[in-house]
Amino acid sequence: MKSKLYFTAIMFLGMMGVSNAQAQNPECMTNLSIFSEHAKVKNYEAAYEPWKMVYETCPQLNNAIYVYGERILKDKVDKATGADKEKFANDLMGLYDNKLKHFSSKTSPGETMVDKALVMYDNKMADDAKMYSMLSEAFTKDEANFTNPKALYIYFSSLVDEHKAGRKDLQEVFDVYDAVTEKIETENEKLTGKIAKLLPKEEAGTLTSKEKSRLKSYNSYSEVYGKIAGSIDSKLGPLADCSNLIPLYEKSFEEKKGDVVWVKRAVGLMFNKECTDDPMFQKLFEAQLSLDPSADAYVYGGTLKMKNGDSSGALADFDKALSLETDNDKKSKIAYKVAVINKRKGSKSTARKYAQKAIDANPSNGRAYLLIANLYATSANDCGSSAFEKRAIYWKAADMARQAGRVDPSLGGSASQAANSYSAKAPTKEMIFSSGMAGKTVTFNCWVGGSVKVPSL
């Protein structure tokens, strides 16, 4: 039996692609096979002792020690109470340190710090100050590998709580908010880019089983990032109201006006929170223009011209911004901002034009689809001569909202809510039956244009 287990362990080691001098220890090799087989079927209790022997005696033998060891120790933590729970939690944190020490190619400093912080958080072993300190260090030292959505939220949430307790200032809250939301956006863009490549194959029914699994994973992670982004905005809450932003930026302006990152983030946050009427917005915009006369600067310049009634000058600035930007993702974001500006001004047709430019530059820009859906839905009274025709526009709006969730699952919740709301306002089955419109086409003779096919009963 022992020789069979030894042979199994040798085969397992070869499949994992790791080999070293510790493979010469027959007892380690045998126990490696034993705990691996138990762990595979989630029999973590039986896996613990053979795993512990290998972990303590041959820590460099195989990465499986750390892959399965994490599951085994998490099971121990979950089932333990009192002092035992803390002991196993400390063992788990030690495991993360040793994985970085012995298998650094399989992890990173940032991942290790985040994993340890989450153990402490889940087991109530640290207060807000400790959590923020640990996660701030991880984010600062290894931002590229700080991708855990839960950790991103805790990082920001613990800071807000520290601010409310009077131990952190508001500027730090805004700095971390900007950094964390930018990180979430970056990670989600990677996911939606991968999703965009698979959607045509999904619609054609030609996805392989591996591609289906990948698409499911991408969609799931994107949805989580969307929920976390919403939670972070909720946590920020009224702290980012114009009444807080403006005096803070006024106070810091002279000291920070040469800091391009601070200036750009300040302008962006004031724009997003609709604080553009205040003179501080113009001061910040002018500072950005002198530091970095980029495409974004023309967007903000156009915003100011629009507010001053210079629509033609504003549109010229917007188009200049788009012509300057060569990166499609950035171009899409700029076009979306312009669409938002025009929507706020009530220029629906122009808003749709720029939202479509945003989609053309990046088909994964779900926010642009949602904006167009809203433009359609708020035009119902202007698009039709009968109640049926007016309500038919909601089908078109619902389709756009659903597309937003398809291309960007991080918007899944808001997209689904919007689509359901619009669908509920569309003609009912009774209206379709009594009007005799089933299967026919409704054409829109307003700014929306186009048509929709009425569902068949």
What pLDDT score was predicted for residue 24?
Answer: 72
Average pLDDT of span 141-157: 97
Residue 2 has pLDDT above 70, yes or no: no
Residue 11 has pLDDT above 70, yes or no: no
Average pLDDT of span 116-142: 97
Quote the percentage of the chain above a pLDDT of 90. 87
Residue 16 has pLDDT above 80, yes or no: no
Average pLDDT of span 410-428: 97
395 within 8 A of 426, measured Cβ to Cβ: yes
Of 15-24, 119-128, 393-402, the poorest mean pLDDT is in 15-24
Residue 291 has pLDDT above 60, yes or no: yes
| Backbone phi and psi for residue 362, each to the nearest 5 degrees, phi listed first | -145, 100
Of 97-101, 300-304, 387-391, the poorest mean pLDDT is in 300-304
Taking alpha carbons only, the member of 396, 333, 338, 343 closest to residue 367 is 333
What pLDDT score was predicted for residue 176?
Answer: 96
Annotate the chain with three-state secondary structure.
CHHHHHHHHHHHHHHHCCCCHHHHCHHHHHHHHHHHHHHHCCCHHHHHHHHHHHHHHCCCCCCHHHHHHHHHHHHHHHHCCHHHHHHHHHHHHHHHHHHHHHCHHHCCHHHHHHHHHHHHHHCCCCCHHHHHHHHHHHHHHCHHHCCCHHHHHHHHHHHHHHHHCCCCCHHHHHHHHHHHHHHHHHHHHHHHHHHHHHHHHHHHCCCCHHHHHHHHHHHHHHHHHHHHHHHHHHHHHHHHCHHHHHHHHHHHHHHHCCCHHHHHHHHHHHHHCCCCCCHHHHHHHHHHHHHCCCHHHHHHHHHHHHHCCCHHHHHHHHHHHHHHCCCHHHHHHHHHHHHHHHHHCCCHHHHHHHHHHHHHHCCCCHHHHHHHHHHHHCCHHHCCCCHHHHHHHHHHHHHHHHHHHHHCHHHHHHHHHHHHHHHHHCCCHHHHHHHCCCCCEEECCCCCCCEEECCCC
Determine the Cα–Cα distance for residues 425 and 380; give it in Å rounded to an integer: 10
- Give the CA diameter of the chain: 87
Determine the Cα–Cα distance for residues 172 and 266; give it in Å rounded to an integer: 12
pLDDT in tens, 358-388: 999 999 999 999 999 999 999 999 998 899 9
Average pLDDT of span 153-161: 98
What pLDDT score was predicted for residue 336?
Answer: 95
Determine the Cα–Cα distance for residues 64 and 81; give it in Å rounded to an integer: 27
pLDDT in tens, 30-89: 999 999 999 999 999 999 999 999 999 999 999 999 999 999 999 999 999 999 999 999
Task: Name 452's bridge partners.
Answer: 442
**Cβ atoms within 10 A of the Cβ of 346, count?**
9
Average pLDDT of span 228-238: 95
pLDDT in tens, 335-350: 999 999 999 989 999 9
Task: Name 441's bridge partners.
Answer: 453
Work out the mean pLDDT of the chain and round it to a whole number.
Answer: 93
Average pLDDT of span 202-220: 96
Average pLDDT of span 304-329: 91
Residue 281 has pLDDT above 80, yes or no: yes
What pLDDT score was predicted for residue 282?
Answer: 92
What pLDDT score was predicted for residue 311?
Answer: 87
Determine the Cα–Cα distance for residues 356 and 38; give it in Å rounded to an integer: 54
Average pLDDT of span 174-184: 95
Residue 452 has pLDDT above 50, yes or no: yes
Residue 252's Cβ-count burial label (10 Å; 0-12, 13-18, 19+) is middle
What pLDDT score was predicted for residue 22?
Answer: 58
Determine the Cα–Cα distance for residues 57 and 104; give it in Å rounded to an integer: 19
Residue 120 has pLDDT above 70, yes or no: yes
Determine the Cα–Cα distance for residues 25 and 438; give it in Å rounded to an integer: 76
Question: What tokens were used for 124?
Answer: 């109530």
pLDDT band at 297 (very low <50, low <70, confident <90, very high): confident
What pLDDT score was predicted for residue 23?
Answer: 61
Task: Name 453's bridge partners.
Answer: 441
